Amino acid sequence: MHNLNRRKLLIASASVLVILLIIYGLLPKRQEVVLVSVQRGDLQVTIEEEGRTRLKQRFTVSAPTAGYMRRVDLKVGDAVKKGQTLVVLEPLRSQALDPRSRAQAQLAVAAANAALKAAIEKKSAAEAEAQYIEKRLERMASLFAKGYIAKDQYEQTETEAKRARAARLSASAAVDIARADLERARANLQNFGNVKFTGKHNLINVTSPANGSVFRLYRESEGAVNVGEPLMDIGNQQDLEIRAEVLSSDAVKIKEGKPVLFKRWGQAETLEGVVRRVEPAGFTKISSLGVEEQRVLVIADITSKQETWQALGDGYRLEAHFIIWEGKNILQVPTSALFRLGNEWAVFTAERGKARRRIVEIGQRNGLAAEIVSGLMEGEKVVVYPDDTIKDGTRIKPRK
């Protein structure tokens, strides 16, 4: 009898255990979730854009006149002083003669040489004529003094002598002109392409307009340059500014004088700055996804000590964080815990092992955290990254 009761008790216990196991298996499993605490702290709302450094004062040195530039000895990064000679320009060198031009120049020399000989012969004839008239004038003057000829005849001879003197001078000048034409023709025939200017005569020294460094060389080798052609850029590396292309919808929130933080510029330290100008004109830019965007150029100055960012140069990339709002001791939650419920915001809180949906009112927010105006208290636990499997009342447990 005693053994029978024991057997019945074991069977009943096993049946209850099986029933409990079946009930436990049918119960929904606890969802593993990530829980974070609602806490207070500093909150900043920023607009983040890629920025680039730029020289505030960039001096582009250009050629003041057309000439032949000597090779530039300066390199990018070399320091220069105001008034220092940067580039030396020589007069332009003549072009080499092609066969046709050379033949024409040779014919021009022959023609000029013949013209010079003709001018010399005319000069000789004019001198002979002038000598004859001079002697005749002397005879007429002697006869006029003795009263053998009339005054009119003497004056006529004197006039002829003056005309002969003028013809002689004209013939002499014609010889000089013909000789100059011959020299010009010979000069056109000569090759001046390899002439080197060793002295300072006719050289033009292009000097630096300010103290600074060389930031760009447009050309380094010698060669002919045109008037106004850029040669190099000069600037002061310590005089940098930051330019960022911001969406026009964000640019209206940025005011002059607002603080800026510069990150990911190559060092772990965050640089501080201030907005100097928000340009009033926007421009259209095509994004990497092919979308047209209206952007505005925002200029900012670096206010951190120059020793901390002296490695920066012109055209360096960094991230600009424009602070448009900031607060202290702000009750906040991660934005990943928020989700939309109709027209309202909501979160899931952890209460006694279950997820409870709660409507919240938020204020300022950035990409990481949001200000809680009402609906939560400091220290409460909320679920971050809630998925569709979590509902109001779902059994949850913290993810390890």
Q: Please state the domain extents for the chain.
A: 29-50+251-273+305-400, 59-90+200-235, 99-189
Q: What is the pLDDT of residue 47?
A: 92
Q: What is the pLDDT of residue 201?
A: 62
Confidence of residue 1 (pLDDT cuts 50, 70, 90): low
Residue 194 predicted with pLDDT over 60: no
User: Do the Cβ atoms of 144 and 151 come closer than 8 Å?
Assistant: yes
Q: Give me the phi and psi of 31, to 5 degrees please.
A: -85, 130
29-50+251-273+305-400 CATH fold: 2.40.420
Higher local confidence (pLDDT), 100 or 25: 100
Taking CB atoms within 8 Å and a gap of at least 24, the contacts of 386-391 are 386/33, 386/337, 386/339, 386/348, 386/355, 389/31, 390/31, 390/33, 390/348, 390/355, 391/355, 391/357
Confidence of residue 24 (pLDDT cuts 50, 70, 90): low
Taking only the tens place, the pLDDT of each residue in 313-337 is 899 999 999 999 999 999 999 999 9
Q: What is the pLDDT of residue 84?
A: 93
Tokens standing for residue 14? 């096993």
User: Do the Cβ atoms of 327 and 372 come closer than 8 Å?
Assistant: no
Residue 351 predicted with pLDDT over 80: yes
Residue 27 predicted with pLDDT over 70: no
CA distance 175 to 32: 113
Across 336-358, average pLDDT: 92
Taking only the tens place, the pLDDT of each residue in 97-139 is 778 877 887 888 888 888 888 988 888 888 888 888 888 888 8
Q: What is the pLDDT of residue 75?
A: 92
Higher local confidence (pLDDT), 7 or 51: 51
Give 20's contacts (C-beta < 8 A, 6+ positions apart).
Answer: none
Mean pLDDT of the chain: 87
Other Cβ atoms less than 10 A from the Cβ of 228: the count is: 10
CA distance 101 to 189: 9
Tokens standing for residue 309? 């960012």
Which CATH code is given to the segment(s) 59-90+200-235?
A: 2.40.50.100
Residue 157 predicted with pLDDT over 60: yes
Taking only the tens place, the pLDDT of each residue in 257-270 is 999 999 999 998 99
Confidence of residue 399 (pLDDT cuts 50, 70, 90): confident
With both helix axes pointing from N to C terminus, report the angle between 99-146 and 151-189 in degrees, rounded to the nearest 10: 160
Q: Please tell me the least confidently modeled range out of 52-56, 237-241, 272-276.
A: 237-241
Residue 256 predicted with pLDDT over 90: yes
3-state secondary structure of 89: strand
CA distance 54 to 371: 36
Residue 224 DSSP label? E
CA distance 249 to 82: 44
Q: What is the pLDDT of residue 95?
A: 72
68 burial level (CB within 10 Å; 0-12, 13-18, 19+): middle
Asked, colleague to colleague, whether 29-50+251-273+305-400 and 59-90+200-235 share their fold, the answer is: no
pTM above 0.75, yes or no: no
Q: What is the pLDDT of residue 21?
A: 66
Q: Nearest-CA neighbor of 372 among 327, 323, 309?
A: 327
The secondary structure of the chain in percent helix, strand, coil, rounded to multiples of 5, reads: 30, 40, 30
